[in-house]
Amino acid sequence: MSSLFSQTSSPISSLSMCMHFIHVVVDPITYVYSDEELCGPSDRLTRGFQQFSNEEVSGQNQVKASVQRRIRQSIAEEYPLLEPVLEDLLPKKSPLIVAKCQNHLNLVVVNNVPLFFNIRDGPYMPTLRLLHQYPNIMKKLQVDRGAIKFVLSGANIMCPGLTSPGGALDKEVGAETPVAIMAEGKQHALAIGFTKMSAKDIKAINKGIGVDNMHYLNDGLWKMQQLD
């Protein structure tokens, strides 16, 4: 099985090997994924942010300073490699907006730009646009080529897509962990996932859903570069 963190074709280092903070600006839609992959199979699944739009937002509230501190602390603890730029991303003097959406979804918004999201009181996860700027902040799992079109249709990630040749697991990833979903032969993450089981269990059980697909390239949140 190929290792996600040993491919010489990718300039993205693993979190464990990253000794300094890397900032990258790319547009992966045109850079690494084909139109056919982005369109996905005809029986597209409706989940996550696929149909997401401004109409899904039920309210926007500027949070108090104490709430803003809690959000910043939670994000800093979940993504310690973001700490050097956290003040730039979430300036203390700029209003921090939490947008309430359907299905218990919350968006963290600064200057009308969605940066993070969570479900109910779950961990905050970066948007893909933010992850593509700071690609080393999350733990990574990799799917094989055959899974790409399904992930980009909103399907959850099945264990065999991670354990087959072309897939790769970080054995340190536990259950209920936000992860970047990489793809065989591609340079940039195609989705944000939330593990249903640990990487060790994904390998051992090797059936069923291993990772929930929370947000993926070309879904509604990706297309929403700014919140009205």
d(CA 142, CA 193): 11
Position with higher pLDDT, 7 vs 142: 142
pLDDT of residue 11: 30
* 13 pLDDT above the threshold of 70: no
d(CA 228, CA 207): 41
* 28 pLDDT above the threshold of 50: no
* 103 pLDDT above the threshold of 60: yes
Q: How confident is the model at residue 41 (pLDDT cuts 50, 70, 90)?
A: very low
For the ranges 49-53, 73-77, 179-183, the lowest mean pLDDT is seen at 49-53
pLDDT of residue 38: 55
Q: What mean pLDDT is predicted for residues 219-224?
A: 91
pLDDT of residue 37: 56
Evaluate whether 129 touches 222 at the Cβ level (below 8 Å). Answer: yes
pLDDT digits (tens, 9 = 90+) for 135-185: 999 999 999 999 999 999 999 999 999 999 999 999 999 999 999 999 999
pLDDT of residue 206: 98
Which residue's entry shows tokens 């074709």? 9
β-bridge partners, 118? 106
Tokens at 210, concatenated: 């291993």
Phi-psi region of 17 (alpha: psi -120 to 50; beta: other; left: phi over 0): alpha
Average pLDDT of the chain, as a whole number: 83
* 198 pLDDT above the threshold of 80: yes
Which residue's entry shows tokens 């900032």? 23
Q: How confident is the model at residue 14 (pLDDT cuts 50, 70, 90)?
A: very low
* 81 pLDDT above the threshold of 80: yes
* 9 pLDDT above the threshold of 60: no
